[in-house]
Amino acid sequence: MKQQQFLDVLDRDEAELRWHAVIAPTRLPSEKVDLSEALGRVLAEDARASVDVPGFDRSNMDGFAVQAADTFGASEEEPIRLSLYSETIPTGVAPRQAVEAGHAMQIATGGMLPRGADAVVPVEHTDVQGGVLLVRQPRTPGGAVSYAGTDMGQGETVLFAGTRLTSRETGVLAAVGQAEVEVVRRPRVAILSTGDEIVQPGDPMRPGLVYDSNGRILADAVRELGGEPLFMGAIRDELDPLREELRRALETSDLVLLSGGTSKGEGDLNALLVEELEPGVIVHGVALKPGKPICLAAAGAKPVVILPGFPTSAIFTFHEFVAPVIRTLAGDPARERQTVEARLAQKVRSVRGRLEYLLCGLVKDGEGGLAAYPMGKGSGSVTSFSRADGFVRVGRNREIVDAGEPLEVTLIGREVPVADLVVIGSHCSGLDVLAAALGRQGFGVKVLAVGSQAGLAAAGRGECDLAPIHLLDPESNEYNESFISEGMRLLKGYGRMQGIITRPDDDRDREEILADESLRMVNRNRGAGTRILIDQLLGERRPPGYGYEPRSHYAVAAAVAQGRADWGVTIETVARQAGLAFRPLRAERYDFAVPESRWERPAVVEFRKLLAPDSKWRGILASEGFETG
């Protein structure tokens, strides 16, 4: 078999139009379920009240049922005197006698109003003297009374078809006595994770394998949309087993999702199998980033989709193409996505010829608007989509979007999440410890790892509460102090040791490693404090791997541990966790730049307490290998 290429990459909207022309998604048939099982379902038929609600004229408070005309002119100084019946009306009991002019009858909240009465006098506006009721406030007809059918009348439509049932709606249905509900059948969505490299969470892991996150994400996303996921497990890249599982999936579901499954360089087996269907592949390749490899297909009119294997690509294309179909099948009305205006915080480069969906995190800027920070971890990132607040569409003909440009951001949720503490700057595992401590206190924390210099710039623009930095001043040979400008304060953090890491079996010293030109390094991203240290260390030298620029200490350690690089620079704590050999380079300060205007914000105050000399968290940081003296 030859490697299959994307021969006809289509525009996103054109791809969707062609696919929908074949599958023509429509609402699934209805089914009857018990009211106790109706939460979250979509109503298939209008719901009408079979009874009046309330079913009788009832009192809204504890008091006395009267004829309103008898109370006219009553006051504190000159109360009206009414004869009091001996009968009282509790809830759930029908009154035995009527209320005649000049009389009153005691009634409880929710009690049935007796014939003849048209108002209730609250108990606090009355006094009882023997068999006489003194009324000290006049009432108008209908006062403190709910008349039968005023909430819902028998035969009235109380809920319309297409309503997604929340606890409010199920309460309405219970109030009209509806024990069973006609709802749209849940779409059954078969999910097949494919690939020789896939293992399920909990199974043994070895190099070259990946845990199946797509299966879990897609199953739960289907459930969130009101569908019924049928997860069929992970299938190896072998034609006959895949063909059999695809057959079973088509027989048992309304929509089939396949994820991943590129086999040993010989072609995409999933696409080959789907080609055997009729009509088969409708679109294979859409001008998107991420998500170009998506395959939209059909078996008859039944939708079949092959999602890209990389997590962010899979999630994004699912929400772009599959989620609207599931909503339609479930009878859920189309929802307009919420958008907000934001200024791009950092310049980004895009790929000409493809519509790019740029995931971003949103923070408030210093002028009351929003700043959008690109979350550029690539289509293989599991965390990008989960941590993003929204996305920006970068047109097919754009190559560069400049920092400061106003953009429309489509929210992934229904509103901009508001964090109690926004942290933008250099990342550190010690910061994770402190952020987790705040989280346990109930504070929402948002952390955007962009490097020390970009964090300082964000703090200067008023976009964050804290900017973690570890910047060395080459003139003073001191960390961080000289970088704090007017309007900023420096919150002292802790010390950490930067050093060169190698695999444990490499016992060469620092100079030998730097002198060996055959060794491959792993660098850090520009703007990071560690990158400044690396460039000082190398001078004019540019070893192999210099252009490999991951954005975190953990990524550097992973590159060395997995043999993709021979050495790199990271902090001692991360090296120790990864079991790598560590050669100290420089003790540095990891501190926090704080805008003066945010120094007394509650979350910042609590963060400062975590770093106080007597805080238990200093001891915890010390146990993690950080210098807290």
What number is the average pLDDT over the span 347-358? 79
What number is the average pLDDT over the span 295-303? 95
What is the pLDDT, as a whole number, of residue 338? 83
Q: How confident is the model at residue 382 (pLDDT cuts 50, 70, 90)?
A: low
Instruction: Report how far residue 216's alpha carbon sits from residue 231's, in angstroms, rounded to the nearest whole number.
Output: 8
What number is the average pLDDT over the span 44-55? 85
Residue pair 126/148 in contact by the 8 Å Cβ criterion = no
Instruction: Report how far residue 45's alpha carbon sits from residue 564's, in angstroms, rounded to the nearest whole number.
Output: 60
Same structural domain, 34 and 70 = no
Of the listed ranges 92-101, 329-338, 576-585, the one predicted with least confidence: 329-338
Instruction: Report how far residue 324's alpha carbon sits from residue 319's, in angstroms, rounded to the nearest whole number.
Output: 7
Instruction: Report how far residue 234's alpha carbon sits from residue 242's, in angstroms, rounded to the nearest whole number.
Output: 10
What is the pLDDT, as a whole number, of residue 298? 95
What number is the average pLDDT over the span 434-448? 91
Same structural domain, 493 and 530 = yes
What is the pLDDT, as a whole number, of residue 195? 78
Say if residue 394's pLDDT is above 70: yes
Higher pLDDT, 4 or 566: 566
**Among 123, 135, 131, residue whose Cα is nearest residue 63:** 123
What is the pLDDT, as a whole number, of residue 265? 41
Same structural domain, 135 and 195 = no
pTM metric for this prediction = 0.74
Residue 34 lies in a domain: yes
Residue pair 346/403 in contact by the 8 Å Cβ criterion = yes
Residue 175 lies in a domain: yes
What number is the average pLDDT over the span 564-586? 94
Lookup: tokens for 189: 């969505």
Residue pair 370/409 in contact by the 8 Å Cβ criterion = yes
φ, ψ for residue 558 (rounded to 5)? Answer: -65, -40
Residue pair 187/330 in contact by the 8 Å Cβ criterion = yes
Instruction: Report how far residue 58's alpha carbon sits from residue 209's, in angstroms, rounded to the nearest whole number.
Output: 68
- pLDDT tens for residues 138-151? 999 999 998 887 77
Q: How confident is the model at residue 3 (pLDDT cuts 50, 70, 90)?
A: very low
What is the pLDDT, as a whole number, of residue 263? 34
Say if residue 291's pLDDT is above 60: yes
What is the pLDDT, as a whole number, of residue 207? 76
Residue 431 lies in a domain: no
What number is the average pLDDT over the span 552-563? 91
Same structural domain, 120 and 133 = yes
Same structural domain, 374 and 466 = no
Same structural domain, 529 and 599 = yes
Note the residue count of the chain.
Answer: 629
Given the structure tokens 């992970």, which residue do they identify? 234
Residue pair 221/326 in contact by the 8 Å Cβ criterion = no
Lookup: tokens for 430: 């010690």
**Among 106, 112, 117, residue whose Cα is nearest residue 52:** 112
Lookup: tokens for 396: 């097919």
Say if residue 480's pLDDT is above 90: yes
Q: What is the CATH number of the domain that holds 66?
A: 2.170.190.11
Residue 540 lies in a domain: yes
What is the pLDDT, as a whole number, of residue 193? 87
What number is the average pLDDT over the span 69-98? 94
Average pLDDT over the chain, rounded to whole? 88
Instruction: Report how far residue 603's alpha carbon sits from residue 90's, in angstroms, rounded to the nearest whole number.
Output: 52
Instruction: Provide, rounded to the nearest whole percent, the portion of the chain with pLDDT above 90.
Output: 56
Same structural domain, 277 and 392 = no
What is the pLDDT, as a whole number, of residue 6? 46
**Which one of 299, 329, 359 terminates a domain?**
329
What number is the average pLDDT over the span 478-506? 94
- pLDDT tens for residues 334-349? 667 788 898 888 888 8
Instruction: Report how far residue 89's alpha carbon sits from residue 427's, in angstroms, rounded to the nearest whole number.
Output: 69
Residue 4 lies in a domain: no
Say if residue 381's pLDDT is above 90: no
What number is the average pLDDT over the span 25-46? 93
What is the pLDDT, as a whole number, of residue 147? 87
Taking residue 163's Cβ as centre, other Cβ atoms within 10 Å add up to: 21
Instruction: Report how far residue 516's alpha carbon sits from residue 524's, in angstroms, rounded to the nearest whole number.
Output: 20
Residue pair 192/259 in contact by the 8 Å Cβ criterion = yes
Same structural domain, 260 and 192 = yes
Q: How confident is the model at residue 23 (pLDDT cuts 50, 70, 90)?
A: very high
Q: How confident is the model at residue 262 (pLDDT cuts 50, 70, 90)?
A: very low
- Complete DSSP assignment for 333-356: PP-PPPEEEEEESS-EE--TTSEE
Say if residue 555's pLDDT is above 80: yes
Given the structure tokens 């099982």, which residue do they identify? 37
Same structural domain, 478 and 556 = yes
Of the listed ranges 368-382, 422-436, 527-541, the one predicted with least confidence: 368-382
Residue 71 lies in a domain: yes
In the three-class reduction of DSSP (H, G, I as helix; E, B as strand; rest coil), residue 519 is classed as coil
What is the pLDDT, as a whole number, of residue 397? 75
Lookup: tokens for 272: 């080959």
Domains held by the chain: number: 5
Q: How confident is the model at residue 102 (pLDDT cuts 50, 70, 90)?
A: very high
φ, ψ for residue 497 (rounded to 5)? Answer: -105, 125
Q: What is the CATH number of the domain that holds 297?
A: 3.40.980.10
Q: What is the CATH number of the domain that holds 34?
A: 3.90.105.10
| Domain housing 36 | 30-53+151-184
**Among 467, 465, 469, 470, residue whose Cα is nearest residue 444:** 465
Residue pair 173/51 in contact by the 8 Å Cβ criterion = no
Same structural domain, 394 and 463 = no
Say if residue 154's pLDDT is above 50: yes
Residue 430 lies in a domain: no
Q: How confident is the model at residue 580 (pLDDT cuts 50, 70, 90)?
A: very high
Say if residue 392's pLDDT is above 80: yes
**Which one of 282, 310, 329 terminates a domain?**
329
Of the listed ranges 80-94, 186-200, 605-619, the one predicted with least confidence: 186-200
What number is the average pLDDT over the span 437-466? 91
**Which one of 291, 306, 329 terminates a domain?**
329
Lookup: tokens for 447: 């952390």
Q: What is the CATH number of the domain that holds 355?
A: 2.40.340.10
Lookup: tokens for 484: 């704090």
Same structural domain, 203 and 295 = yes
What number is the average pLDDT over the span 185-193? 94
In the three-class reduction of DSSP (H, G, I as helix; E, B as strand; rest coil), residue 274 is classed as helix
Rg (CA), the chain: 34
Instruction: Report how far residue 344's alpha carbon sits from residue 332's, in angstroms, rounded to the nearest whole number.
Output: 34
φ, ψ for residue 569 (rounded to 5)? Answer: -120, 125
What is the pLDDT, as a whole number, of residue 383? 64
Lookup: tokens for 450: 């962009």
Residue 353 lies in a domain: yes
Same structural domain, 173 and 205 = no
What is the pLDDT, as a whole number, of residue 158? 85
Say if residue 416's pLDDT is above 80: no
Instruction: Report how far residue 360's alpha carbon sits from residue 448's, in angstroms, rounded to the nearest whole number.
Output: 10
Q: How confident is the model at residue 69 (pLDDT cuts 50, 70, 90)?
A: very high
Instruction: Report how far residue 44's alpha carbon sits from residue 25's, in angstroms, rounded to the nearest whole number.
Output: 16
Say if residue 1's pLDDT is above 50: no
Lookup: tokens for 83: 């004869």
Residue pair 23/301 in contact by the 8 Å Cβ criterion = yes
What is the pLDDT, as a whole number, of residue 378? 53
Higher pLDDT, 496 or 332: 496
